[in-house]
Amino acid sequence: MTRIIVLLKDVVDLNELKIDPNTRRPRVEGVKRRISEVDKRALEAAIRLKEQGGGEIASLSIGGGKTRTAMLEALAMGADAAYIVNDEALEGIDTLATSKVLKVALEKIGDYDLILCGEMTLDSLSSQVGPRLAELLDLPQVTYAKKLEITGSDLRAERDLEDMDEIVEVGLPALVSVVREINEPRIPSLMNIMKAKRKPTEEWDSSSLGLSPEEVRSWSSVEVLKVEAPLVERKRIAIKAETVEEAAVKLAEAILSEGVMEG
């Protein structure tokens, strides 16, 4: 039976993220958190593999107090179990520390045939955790997958690179990261959402993993000094008129008055 672990990160809902106009800092507190879009597609890919060839899917996340709620969606979609490393003391750790914590968590979870993740999460955009984990676990990696299939103990994937599509094969176990375009994730039915609450969810803190927060923080080597939205002053002029033609003329005049059409 194919045992698949999907790395899922809950991130701030980017559609609801607002920038504080005074400090220019993104207002993160209180904003709804959801599974990062590309990670969700990794989960959908796992579910389709399970539907085709059988298997078991567990999600693994490093998160906080709201992660359990966010992961209900994963369970509703089709994950069989959710594992969450929930420790406030780990907030803000970098990709190096994150991948090491994930490695320890995986050792606790046990055997797997495949680790799936999104090519990047949409909050920090690092694209590192998958390959880092593959390195730590000495696993072959297949990144930027837009098509996936498993036959026996082999995985076949089509990789989306800038200048070519590369079709590859690798023996399991392996780590695969997917691109956003691999699929459209399903929307779970109400019944599945209800069932999700009864699926096993385990939450661990650092000590459950045999780690001390100080130790983990010492692994973190990249420090965020500040986060600020760039200062962009747009005119935000709404062109209005009685008719489309009039509005179009007004807009044409505005464009030409800006002098951007010269040279």
Partner 1 sequence: MTSNNVLVFSEDREIGFQLLAKGREFADKLGGEVYALVVGLGVTGAHEHFEYGADKVYVIDEARLAHFEVVPYREAVLKAVGEAEPHVLLIGATKRGKELAARVAAALDTGCMTECVGLELDEEGRLKAERLTYGGSSISTQVSNKEPHIATVRSRVFEKMVPSKKEGEAVKLDLKVPESRVRIVERKEKTKGDMGLEEAPVIVSAGRGFKEKDDLKLLEEIAEVLDAKIGCTRPIAADLGWMEEWIGISGHKIAPKLYVACGVSGTIQHAAGIRDSQIIVSINSEEGANIHELSDYSIVGDLYAVLPALTKALKEKLK
Query: Measured between alpha carbons, how far is 119 from 96 in angstroms, rounded to an integer?
Result: 16
**Closer residue to partner 1 in complex, CB, 41/50:** 41
- DSSP conformation letters of 18-30: EE-TTT--EE-TT
Query: Look-up: residue for tokens 């590192």?
Result: 128
**Closer residue to partner 1 in complex, CB, 23/207:** 23
Contacts of 31 (CB under 8 A, 6+ apart): 12, 13, 16, 17, 18
**Closer residue to partner 1 in complex, CB, 6/133:** 133
Residue from 48, 56, 68, 96 binding partner 1 (CB under 8 A)? 96
Burial grade of 186 (CB within 10 A; 0-12, 13-18, 19 or more): middle
User: Using CB under 8 A, which residues numbered 38 to 67 contact partner 1?
Assistant: none
Kindly give the pairing relationship between strand 3-7 and strand 114-118: parallel
Q: Is 193 in the site for partner 1 (CB under 8 A)?
A: no
Residue from 89, 187, 194, 251 binding partner 1 (CB under 8 A)? 251
Are 60 and 109 in contact by the 8 Å Cβ rule? The answer is yes
Q: Is 238 in the site for partner 1 (CB under 8 A)?
A: yes
Q: Which stretch binds partner 1 (CB under 8 A): 39-47, 64-72, 89-97, 195-203?
A: 89-97
Q: Is 198 in the site for partner 1 (CB under 8 A)?
A: no
Q: Which stretch binds partner 1 (CB under 8 A): 19-27, 53-61, 64-72, 189-197?
A: 19-27
Nearest distance from residue 239's CB to partner 1, in Å? 5
Q: Which stretch binds partner 1 (CB under 8 A): 18-26, 51-59, 77-85, 110-118?
A: 18-26
Q: Is 21 in the site for partner 1 (CB under 8 A)?
A: no
User: Using CB under 8 A, which residues numbered 112 to 131 contact partner 1?
Assistant: 122-131
User: Using CB under 8 A, which residues numbered 162 to 191 contact partner 1?
Assistant: 162-171, 174, 180-181
Query: Measured between alpha carbons, how far is 124 from 220 in angstroms, rounded to an integer?
Result: 15
Residue count at the site for partner 1 (CB under 8 A)?
78
The one-letter code for the residue type at 57 is I
With CA atoms as reference, report the closest residue to 174 among 110, 133, 105, 114.
114
φ, ψ at 11 (rounded to 5°): -125, 165
